[in-house]
Amino acid sequence: MGKLDGKVAVVTGASKGIGEGIARVFARHGAKVVLAARGEGVLASAEALRTEGHEAVGVQCDVSDFADCQRLAQAALDAFGRIDVLDCNAGICVLGDFLTEGDSWRDSHIDINVKGVWNACKAVTPAIIDAGGGAIVITSSVTGDMVADPGEVAYATTKAALIGFTKALARELAPKNIRVNCICPGYIRTPLVDGMAEQSDPENPERAIDAIAAAVPLGRLGTPEECGELCAFLASDESSYLTGTQIVIDGGSTLPETSSMGQ
């Protein structure tokens, strides 16, 4: 028996990176999974799960468009008849200079990272209520709420906003038997992080990755599947008394002080 047996889960941003890892882990724990993302790659990701014997469908969806999110919810209901879990993972991070970037840089982060979560929750939650309750899991970040680097003002602002969103929505949906929690990843080896490394060190992006790993107490970047296991816990009945909180998964990267004592 898997911890998600009998549950239907919708995962946004599921064509690559953390979202694809979450969808894969959910499926392995027995969930029927609806993978959503803007690009056609999500269809291939769903097909890959089906070839492994899992029940999965892919839906192209732009989470910044509420009507698209409504179509996503209906597609999930058409495929599996119910929705028990929503995992809001779709997000972007483009580094930029606060003083020189235009409004479009700010707005693109808000549209996907904040409005996208808002839209997905608004569109899918009624189906979770109809199913008798369930869980919403949101991907925030250690960036914004705990730490930040130059170039991350837009990203940090939106990811910090998701902490407040999680807490307020958890309070509002608790009477409807829906738990809402979020995960705060540090550096996870994904195409998004690879893109940030290319921006930081165009001549040798791997050098930037190595520098990040060296600063993590556990000595490496995390994997999408490790995030998936945490999300599976939060989506399952194992976390039935947990709501309105955030869990950091960062290999200890937010632990060190500016300078270490006693070494």
Which sequence positions are flagged as catalytic? 155
Q: Which of 63, 18, 54, 56 is nearest to 35 (CA)?
A: 56
Q: Torsion angle, CA of 199/96/249/195, rounded to 10 degrees?
A: -30
Which secondary structure element, helix H or strand E, spans residue 110, and what is its range? none
Identify whether the C-beta of residue 222 lies closer than 8 Å to the C-beta of residue 22. Answer: no
Q: Quick one: CA dihedral 169, 165, 231, 28, positive or negative?
A: positive
Q: Which of 183, 178, 185, 186 is nearest to 245 (CA)?
A: 183
Q: What angle do CA 131, 132, 136 make, to 5 degrees?
A: 80
**Buried/exposed 169-205: b ≥16 CB within 10 Å, e otherwise:** bbeebeeeebbbbbbbbbbbbbebbeebbeebeeeeb
